[in-house]
Structures are given as structure tokens and as C-alpha cells.
Amino acid sequence: MKQHYLEPWSKEYAAQYGDARIRLAAGGILAASGHNMQPWILRLDPSDPMVFHLYADSRRMTKEVDPNARQMMISQGTFLEYVAVTGEKEGWNTKIELFPEGEYDENDLAHSMDTLPVAKITLAKAQPQEIPLYGAMYLPDTNREPYRAEGLSASQVSALESLSGAAGISVRVYQEQAELSKIGRYALKSAETEAGVSRVMEESGAIFRANEYRKNQYRYGFSVEGQGASGLRMHILQGMLTVFPSLNSGEAAARNVINYARASVQSTPAYAMIVTRNNSRATQVESGMLYSRLVLTGHTLGLVMQPLSQVLEEYPEMNGPYTEFKQIYAPSGGTVQMLFRMGYPTKGVPLSMRRDVMNFVAK
């Protein structure tokens, strides 16, 4: 079966569109998003061909693992940064104005998402730039495989930690053995907690695509590629899951979550965090933009990354690990927006599903 869900990864994909806004959005949709939900809606300004707005898609909230929609706002930022990088390559300055019509009413969040834009993007013609970050966009944003034991160099750490130019947002890299052990314990403990919460596991299971037909049908969510399967093994595993779906549900799914977390912790030479002084919606979006810069810069340095989101999730059962972790790594009222492992890969991984760019454009 033809893999339509991979078509947006072609560098020629965007060239079919005459509207520069669509071409830049075609770059934006390659960004990482929470649970690969791709929660983006684009509204093209009908009176100005240089302006479009980004809205959060309230239909794509993952309310069990992300009840406060913090991860969803981070996903808005990852998209915006990829748009900006695509603009540099194509010869556009992208002016990004966050929440141009005001921030959300937290008591009516879904309605706010539907009616208030996350960002207004205004294009201005510029000189096209050949930038390494653009080529890095076409590499997998997440690598869940084991990493080499080799740590990061001092220059690499400095390059990554210096990426945040905004006040109140910082990047911190940890690779001392004591910190690796401590962070790893939280990663494993939170995975065990998540595996024991049936409604959370069911939410994830509902967006798992077991075979090529389902991946082409939905083009978002999880698939066996995220579990390290590729080539012939991918097709064998998909066939087994299609015939025996219980292999990835219930207790089997819970064991998988714990086993993958344990394998990740055992092969991580460095962790990094994005820590913010406040937790406003704008700060969450800016954290997502910073994460995309980290992913792309990491690729240029030969590094790969994987978010470890469980300990930062804010549902009741996770409150204990979340509170402890936050008190250690973001004291004085700060927030850890992102926790991720990084290092040198031991193997490549497949690209993940993406919807067609026109599916994001509001009619």
C-alpha cells in the first residue's frame, strides 16, 4: 500500500502550492507535536496574501494526559519555529505575533481555542538563505532507540544552552552520573504510574494505528515505527497487531510502556530541560519554539532527542512525581516545560505520519 502519510516529508511536496503561506505551513507540519496529534488550524487572511493565523485545534486535545493543554500549547510553538525556518530558506521574514487578540479564557478553553488565534504570521520578502536547520527539518524529530554512551562535548552543551534568548526561559543539560540516575528514576516511576491509569492508556490506544491502511486513513497518532520497528519487522508486527490487537492493549500495552521507558533510561548519556519562570500560554508556545530549535540544532551536531513527557503530565495520579520533580528542577514557582533525552544515535528511525497540509487550512 502506498504510504500517503509520508508524502509531506518530500522536499518537493510544498512546490505544488503557489501560495507562500501554504508552502511555509507545509514545513510547519513536519514539527513534533504531543502524541503526534498535529493540533493546528490555519486561517488564511482573505484580504492580505501575506498574513495567516494559527489556531489550536480543540478537537485534538488529549484531555487525559494533558488536561491543562500545556503540551498542546507547546505543540503550537514547535509548528511556528518550523514555519520560521522554512521562511528563511524560501526568502521570507516571518513576523510572529502571539495571541494577537488576547489570551484564552481558562474557564472556557475549547471555545477560546476555536475563536482566538495563537499567532498571527505576517510575511515580508527577503533574500533566501541556505541554512543547515532547514535540511534538519526533514529528519525524524524523535529517536526512541538506545543512544551511544558517549556524552556531549562542552561546546555542544554551550551551543544548546545558549539557544534561548528570551528572558525567563532557559535550557539546562544534565550528564553527570548522579543527575542521570535521579532523572532516570523519575522517568521510570512516571512511566509505571501512567501504565497503571487505564483511562490514560485507553486514550493513547485510541490513536494507535496498527497497519498501513489505518496510517493512511488517519495520518496522525502513534504507530509501530515509534516502537523502533522498520522494514520487514514493521510489516510483520503490523500484521500481528491487526490480527491480534490485544498485543498492544490492556496489560500488554502497560508492560510496553514500562519496558520502553526502562530501555530509554538505560541508554541515555544526557537529559535536557526547558525551564520557565512563569507558565503563561505565551511562555508555553515560546517553549515549543525553543524545543524545535533544539531539535534542529541537535541534528546539525549529530545528536538526536526524545521527549519524556510522563513526569510532566498533570492528571491527578501523576501529581506526586510531578510535584517532586518540579520542586527539584524548577523551584521558586517555575515550570519544567520539556524534559527530553539526547545523545548520539545507534541507529536511524523511520519518519512518522503527517496529514496533508490542506487538511489544516480552515475552509
* Same-domain status, 128 and 173: no
One domain, residues 84 and 113: yes
User: In the chain, which residues have pLDDT < 70?
Assistant: 226-250
Same domain, 132 and 247: no
Structural domain boundaries enclosing 60 = 4-139+351-360
Question: Between vectors from CA 64 to CA 63 and to CA 65, what angle results, nearest 5°?
Answer: 100
Do 57 and 196 sit in the same domain of this protein? no
Domain match, 109 and 258 both:
no
Query: Coil, strand or helix: which one is 119?
Result: strand
SS3 157: helix
Cβ burial of 59 (10 Å; 0-12, 13-18, 19+) is exposed
Evaluate whether residue 145 is within a structural domain.
Answer: no
The answer on 310 and 283 residing in a single domain is: yes
Reported as a single tens digit per residue, the pLDDT across 67-98 is 999 999 999 999 999 999 999 999 999 999 99
Contacts of 199 (CB under 8 A, 6+ apart): 64
In a domain, 149, yes or no: no
Return the pLDDT at 231.
Answer: 53
CATH code of the domain in which 326 resides: 3.40.109
Q: Are 127 and 160 found together in one domain?
A: no
248 and 114 housed in the same domain: no
Clarify whether residues 175 and 126 are in a common domain.
no
| Residues 220 and 134 occupy one common structural domain | no
pLDDT for residue 256: 83
Flag whether 147 is in a domain: no
Query: Does one domain contain both 175 and 320?
Result: yes
Q: How many domains does the chain have?
A: 2
For 239: left if phi > 0, alpha if psi spans -120 to 50, otherwise beta; the answer is alpha
User: Quick one: CA dihedral 142, 145, 149, 150, positive or negative?
Assistant: negative
Predicted local confidence at residue 244, as pLDDT = 44
